[in-house]
Chain A
Amino acid sequence: GIQVEQSPPDLILQEGANSTLRCNFSDSVNNLQWFHQNPWGQLINLFYIPSGTKQNGRLSATTVATERYSLLYISSSQTTDSGVYFCAVALYSGNTPLVFGKGTRLSVIA
């Protein structure tokens, strides 16, 4: 099955710093989503981004489908950004489940 690798596994940032999270996947996809799981366990949709670039406030994401990777940028990080960031993909063949990476655990300290 498709493999999804996220890096780094853990990241500690000082408040105000910028960061880039990476997601590599092993096959063509027609669905790629970034989620933030906050410290209370809630999974929050950040982006649906099978290709291209999107921005939402301090967050932006870029997916280069031909090279099978996606990047999530967090600028001017805040303590509320802490949590686990997941990348999830689905194969191009359709009707296939979202496959999640193992996540990047981000801790933003004041």
Chain B
Amino acid sequence: DTAVSQTPKYLVTQMGNDKSIKCEQNLGHDTMYWYKQDSKKFLKIMFSYNNKELIINETVPNRFSPKSPDKAHLNLHINSLELGDSAVYFCASSQAGGWVETQYFGPGTRLLVL
């Protein structure tokens, strides 16, 4: 059984479009995250949600908006896509509300903006 799943795995789209990436975890974790990995493999936190509430919002363009319908899901909506948004987006989850627990990562969504 997949612990943290993301859909789609690959997303190719045109500049200016709006797209969403879905994330689900079946671990019963309280906290979920979105990370971005750029072309140089550098991983950086974007957002964190704890029990459906936003607790971390790093410097990310407001074209990116996370939505958490329940604590098992954290979706990422991206409006007006730009070339620079091309990257791999990882969803992750952890047990506690803080940052002392192991984070488990999904398989990633490879976004290519043309």
Contact = CB atoms under 8 A, between A and B. Distances in A.
Interface string B99-110: 111111101101
A45 B55 contact: no
A102 B100 contact: no
A30 B107 contact: no
A96 B99 contact: yes
B90 to A, nearest CB: 6
Interface string A31-68: 10101010001111100101000000000000000000
Query: How many residues of B sit at the interface, in one of the four size bands?
Result: 20 to 34
A96 B99 CA distance: 6
Interface in B74-114: 88, 90, 97-105, 107-108, 110
B45 A98 contact: yes
A33 B58 CA distance: 21
Contacts, number: 61
B42 A41 contact: no
Interface of A: 30-31, 33, 35, 37, 41-45, 48, 50, 84, 86, 88, 90-91, 94-100, 102-103
- A-B pairs with the 7 shortest C-beta distances? A97-B45, A43-B105, A90-B99, A100-B43, A48-B102, A94-B98, A30-B100
16 contacts: A31-B99, A41-B88, A41-B107, A41-B110, A42-B105, A42-B108, A43-B90, A48-B102, A86-B43, A95-B56, A95-B97, A96-B99, A97-B48, A98-B35, A98-B99, A102-B41
